Amino acid sequence: MNDTAEIIVRVHKNVGRITLNRPKALHALTLGMCETMIETLLDWQADPEIDMVMIDHTGERGFCAGGDIRMLAESGAGDGIAACLFFHTEYRLNHLMFHYDRPIVAIMDGVVMGGGVGISMPAHYRIATERTTFAMPETGIGLFPDVGGGWYLPRLPGKAGLWLALTGARIKGADCLRLGIATHFVEFGAIEGLKKAIIADHRRIDETLKMFRADAGKAPLASIEQDLNRLFVGDSVEQIFEFLEMDSSDWGKAQLAALKTKSPQTLKVAFRQLALGESAEDFGEHMAMEYRIGARVVRKHDFLEGVRAVIIDKDNAPQWAPQSLEGVTEAMLDEIFAPLPPEDEWTPLT
């Protein structure tokens, strides 16, 4: 075991354990981390002694805050090759986990955003705590809710997934449990004991989880779900804006204010992405679509400007282009979603 590595790989009896180990960066994924996880999972898939996989993290701040956004922006400002390589590899990891033939346990403690969503949602067991903060905040930096977000989010109850995708709203453990994002809720103080118990006898994981189960408390979403499902409907982002503008509730006003800070281009990309993802029947084909989007938006003005404003200069005043929803045409979206040249398309691992 190498405690300084970005990924710590261990085997406990019949349980393979992958520990994210970039605590200062909230375990944001790098290309090397994705490659190591793929290699490890493939090795374990060929090993009849490995019956289960556990994914957790070092430190106490978060599971995984996303991907290496600065690298993506630097690449996007140039030829975009490094960014596309990262997306291609990360999406292969997402796809491998989605179809993995052993149960995966993801300890979703702390921050779970972006790339962290991509490596937790495919897990069979998704454990949230009172410290869990789940979000797909990409519309705020001109990106889009990728890593399979277009597949998972529209499959959440009601319009919760569309709301999360467009607003970038952050939800806690109780809401994750209510929406099915998490399968179980365990108090943070019991997590280490839970992990030890699973490793001690992975065959009794269901009984172990029942023993460690805690009361998540009332989910805040319960009080706004009716408004959410009433307002985040329609055939376009413009219609959602119209419904919110007509709404007199404080919650509706807050959502409208939040949406007005997001990239208009990205709002429309995410809306179309989730609509297509909802009707998709094959996860691999869906990831190919997300790769096409990623390969293009990473080089566009809004992503580079969003990263500048939110991550580099931190003035939180991005100048989007186009500045309005009306300025984002269907032709612009068609170009972003169009197939790539055959040699550039995303492919899953064979």
Strand-pairing partners, residue 167, are none
| Topology of the domain covering 7-344 | 2-enoyl-CoA Hydratase; Chain A, domain 1 (3.90.226)
- Asked if 345 is an active-site residue, the reply is no
Q: In this structure, how many other beta carbons lie within 10 angstroms of the beta carbon of residue 315?
A: 9
Closest by CA position to 277, among listed 263, 261, 293, 262: 293
pLDDT exceeding 70 applies to what percent of the chain? 99
- The DSSP string of 292-346 is HHHHHHTTSHHHHHHHIIIIIS-------SS-SGGGS-HHHHHHHHSPPPGGGS-
The catalytic residue among 138, 175, 225, 290 is 138
- Asked if 118 is an active-site residue, the reply is no
Phi, psi of 29, deg, nearest 5: -75, 140
Q: Determine whether 183 is exposed, middle or buried from the number of CB atoms within 10 Å of its CB (0-12, 13-18, 19+).
A: middle
Q: Determine if the peptide bond prior to 318 is cis (ω within 30°).
A: no
The 10s digit of each residue's pLDDT in 40-68 is: 999 999 999 999 999 999 988 889 999 88
| pLDDT grade for 191, boundaries at 50, 70 and 90 | very high
Whether the per-residue pLDDT at 1 is higher than 60: the answer is: no
**pLDDT at position 181:** 98
| pLDDT grade for 2, boundaries at 50, 70 and 90 | low
**pLDDT at position 4:** 82
Place of tokens 């979206």: 333
Conformational region of residue 168, where left means phi above 0, alpha means psi within -120 to 50, and beta covers everything else: left
Of residues 1 and 114, which shows the higher confidence score?
114
The 10s digit of each residue's pLDDT in 278-291 is: 999 999 999 999 99
- Asked if 115 is an active-site residue, the reply is yes
Query: How far does Cα 263 stand from its chain's mean position?
Result: 18
Query: How far does Cα 242 stand from its chain's mean position?
Result: 28
Whether the per-residue pLDDT at 8 is higher than 60: the answer is: yes
Average pLDDT over residues 71-78: 95
**pLDDT at position 147:** 97
Contact call for residues 315 and 309 (beta carbons, < 8 A): yes
Alpha carbon distance 40, 266 (integer Å): 34
Q: What is the mean pLDDT of the chain?
A: 96
The catalytic residue among 16, 67, 161, 168 is 67
- Asked if 146 is an active-site residue, the reply is yes
Instruction: Specify the amino acid at residue 263.
Output: S
The 10s digit of each residue's pLDDT in 112-171 is: 999 999 999 999 999 999 999 999 999 999 999 999 999 999 999 999 999 999 999 999
The catalytic residue among 115, 116, 140, 161 is 115
Whether the per-residue pLDDT at 75 is higher than 90: the answer is: yes
Q: What is the pTM of this model?
A: 0.96
Q: In this structure, how many other beta carbons lie within 10 angstroms of the beta carbon of residue 328?
A: 24
Length of the chain: 350
**Domain boundary assignment for the chain:** 7-344
The 10s digit of each residue's pLDDT in 194-237 is: 999 999 999 999 999 999 999 999 999 999 999 999 999 999 99
The catalytic residue among 146, 175, 302, 305 is 146
